[in-house]
Structure formats: structure tokens, C-alpha cells
Amino acid sequence: MSEQKNSYRQIMKATSLFGGVQIFQIVISVIRSKFVAVLLGPAGMGVVGLLTSTTGLVMGLTNFGLGTSAVKNISEANAEEDRNRLATVIAVLKRLVWITGILGALVTLLFSPWLSQFTFGNKEFTLAFVWISITLLLNQLTTGEMVLLQGLRKLQQLAKANLYGSVAGLIITVPLYYWLGEKGIVPVIIITAFSTLFFTWFFSRNIGVEKKVVSRATIIAEGKSMMVMGIMISMSSLVALLVAYFIRIFINRIGDLADVGYYSAGFTIINTYVGMVFTAMGTDYYPRLSLVATDNEKCKEQVNQQSEIALLILGPILVGFLLFLNWAIIILYSNQFLTITGMVYWATLGIFFKALSWAIAFIFLAKGAAKLFFWNELATSIYGLGLNMLGYYMAGLTGLGMAFLASYLLYFIQVYLIAKIKYRFSFHRSLIVIFFVQFLLALTCFIIVSLIRQPYIYLPGLLLISISAWYSYKELEKRIGLREIIKNSIQQMKKKI
């Protein structure tokens, strides 16, 4: 098998594995949410949401982005095939997650009265914040184990840890809420954090690297690059959170609370259900790109290959998404939310530019270009905020979808030019062809669903889905031998039966 075909197959294998995990986790999340809604009611769900979002914000400020930055360090150390060096990097990471985890727990513990006052408008939840402060340590330790598995590309173990953690969360949540009601909220948050840590530790405990004691000097020397990059990631994440907050405030001031809810619902669909493809691909893509980060030509090859697979997978999904969006909204929410269709239609087209820019932007992370990464994301957040405010002011909810498309078009141009000038990056001709074919099919479907009434959209829409799926199949066959993979999978299933 050629090296190129093997690389394409690795991308597809990782995407399939974690795509399945993502779908399973979403199903578990929906089931858990339904039970929580029934057992706790709207008020109880509100308490859960406020407690977890507040501690999540504290964690975002105190975890120093180690969940992303350290993947690069582990990947590079693993590629050197120096077990002593790898053991050192792992030991430093484990020490850093303890330090940052304890920091997060102490901040939550010490500021619990103020967190309660700020979040709930009173100090009745001070004790709740005191108790759940331990989860910031537990969650950061979990992050350390996840980083270890991702950096070493132990994909099977990482997938199992995620799956078992999701199931355990469901098993813990339902009985405790049934038994204790709202009094079970804090115990559920704590026990879930313990169970998640247990499964990640269980699947990472036998990685084949000996434990090593490191000095303070070694921690400072090895941990510097992790922390510098991590701080920049944390700062950019904080800016993104602030932008999302200001957008919601602006919508509420110009429009009303209902529009804030519609905005949240629409982008939950885009970021969760469509965005799971990026989550699935990113798990293996980042450590794989980090391995070749010092070679611009190999970097270019990896980005092009990843982008091709992303577009071939997303193409039929997005065309189908445009066609059946109304049904998806009714199933996930209700008829009342059909007002978001225009917004989501425009945002769906933006996903094509997100796919390309997403793959390119990982170059900055893989190369450890901390300042470049931060200023790139800061600029994006600033014009993204401006476009969203302008879009909503001019065209309401639909304008927010237009702003999403415009933001990612600008972001794509921005990251492409930076990567081209700084790292001599360019697209392969094959990728450009795939992009235009799939984008034009989606654009045609967009025009059909926007101008033609139901049910007349379905015949041409199904034809477009078929063309997109057929094109993706033919291109994947060229790259990975899809027919052979399907045939072998069927034979293996028959043997098991």
C-alpha cells in the first residue's frame, strides 16, 4: 500500500472511530437531558446549567489551555522514539495538571460566595460551589489523561474512555435525580467527575512508559512551551466566550429574549450536530500534524489530505442537512423554532469555508506559533462580532447566518494568506476541484430550498444528495479503496456471526 493511501486511510479510520463516538455521546446527552428535564424541571435544569457554566468559566481561566497545547509536546516526544524524553514530558504534564487543577479548585473554593452572588444573585449556592470546587481538579486530571492518549495516538483507548464515561454519566445521573431531585445536583456533578477520571485513568494506565520523578528546574524548562502556548489558547478562548456573550446581549437589546433562544438553538445545531465531524477529525489530526510540523512540505500534504477527506464527508451531509432542515428542527425542538431555518441555511454554506480554514489554522498550533495563533484568533473574534451585530441589525436572525458565512469566508482568506506567506502553504488542484463541486451542489440545494415550496423541493434535493454522495464515493475510492474496505468489513462481520 502506498504511503499516501495509508495516510488517507488513517484519516478516514480516525474520523469513523470518533465520529461514531460523537454520535453515541450526542444520543446519550439527549437521553440524559430528557430525564433531567422531567426529574428536575426547568428551574432545576437552570441551576445545573449555571453551576456547570460558572465552574467551566473558572476552569477556562485556570487550566492554561493544557488540553490543547500539551498534545503537541507529547506527539513530538513520542516521534523522537526516546523513551526517557517521553517519560520526562509526561511527568511534567502530570505535574502541571495537578498544579493548574488545584489552582482552579482553590479559586472556586475561595471565591464561592462571590460566584454564588454573581451567578444567582444571592449567596444561597455558596456551599454548592464549595463542594463542586473539587471537580476542577478532577476535570483537569482527566484532561491530562486524555492529552496523554491523544498525543500518543492511542485512539482505541481514547474512544473507549469517552464511551464508558458517557454511559457512566447517564447511569449515575438518572437514579440520583430520581432519588434526590434538586438535592442531587451537586452529588451528580462530583460523582460524574470522579467516574470520568476513573475511565480515562483506566485506559491510559498501561501506556508502556515508565514513571519518572522530575525536578522543579525540569518542570520549568519542559513546561514553558506548554504553558506559553496554553496561555495563548486560554486567552483566545476567553475572547471567544466574551464575543458570544456580547452577541447575546446585543440580540437581547435590539430584539428580545426569544431571539436569543433562537440564536442559541440554531448554532447548537450547527456546532454540535454538524460540528461533530470536526471534533472527530481533530482528535487524530492535531497530533499527526504536530509530528511533521518542522517540515513545511509535509505539513502542506497533511493539511490538503485532511481537507479533502473533510469535504468529501461533509458534502453529502450538508446537502442533506439543507434539504431536511425543517424536519431536523421539528424533531430536535418544535414548530416554533422553524423561524431559524433562514439563519441555519446561510450558516450551512459557511461550514465549507470553516472546513478549509479549520485545517489550515491547525498549522499554527502544530508549529507552536503561540503569538501568531492568538492574534489570528483575536482579529477573527473582533470582525466576527462586528459582522454579527451588523447582520442582526440589518436582517434579524437570517442576518446572523449571513454573518457566519461572511466571517468564515474572511477567516479562510486570512489563514490561507498567513500560511502561504509564512509557511509556503498552497492547495492541491484536486482539493480545489472537490471544494467547488461540493460547494456548488450545496449552493444549488440552498437556492432550491429558499425559492421552491415544499414538497416540491424533495425530488431535486434528493437528486443533489445522490450526486454529492456518488462523487464523494468515487473520490474516496481513488484515495483509500473504499470498496475494498467495505468488502473486508462485511466479511469480518460474517465471520463474527
Per-residue pLDDT of the chain (497 residues; tens, 9 = 90+): 566 777 787 887 777 777 777 788 778 877 877 777 778 776 777 788 788 878 888 888 888 888 888 888 888 888 877 788 888 888 999 999 999 999 999 999 999 999 999 878 889 889 999 999 999 999 999 999 999 988 888 878 888 888 898 888 888 888 988 888 888 889 999 999 999 999 999 998 877 777 888 888 888 888 888 888 888 888 888 888 888 888 888 988 898 878 888 888 888 888 877 777 787 777 788 888 888 888 999 999 999 999 999 999 999 999 999 999 999 888 877 788 899 999 999 999 999 999 999 999 999 988 988 899 999 999 999 999 999 999 999 999 999 999 999 999 999 999 999 999 999 999 999 999 999 999 999 999 999 999 998 889 999 999 999 999 999 999 998 888 878 777 776 777 666 65
**Same domain, yes or no, for 202 and 237?**
no
Is the dihedral angle over the CA atoms 212, 225, 304, 352 positive or is it negative? positive
**Same domain, yes or no, for 210 and 286?**
no
**Same domain, yes or no, for 176 and 247?**
no
**Same domain, yes or no, for 195 and 278?**
no
**Same domain, yes or no, for 109 and 205?**
yes
**Same domain, yes or no, for 241 and 349?**
yes
**Same domain, yes or no, for 194 and 237?**
no
Is 227 part of any domain? no
Grid coordinates representing 332 are 430536535
CA separation for the pair 396, 389 (Å, rounded): 10
Domain end, chosen from 188, 214, 240, is at 214
**Same domain, yes or no, for 329 and 449?**
yes
**Same domain, yes or no, for 143 and 261?**
no
Residue with cell 462580532: 385
Q: How many domains does the chain have?
A: 2
**Same domain, yes or no, for 479 and 347?**
yes
Give the range of the structural domain holding residue 75, as residue numbers without chain letter: 1-214
Distance, C-alpha 185 to centroid of its chain: 26
**Same domain, yes or no, for 196 and 283?**
no
Residue with cell 485506559: 203
**Same domain, yes or no, for 244 and 182?**
no
Inter-residue contact 196 to 168 (CB < 8 Å) = yes
Domain end, chosen from 181, 214, 247, is at 214
Is 272 part of any domain? yes
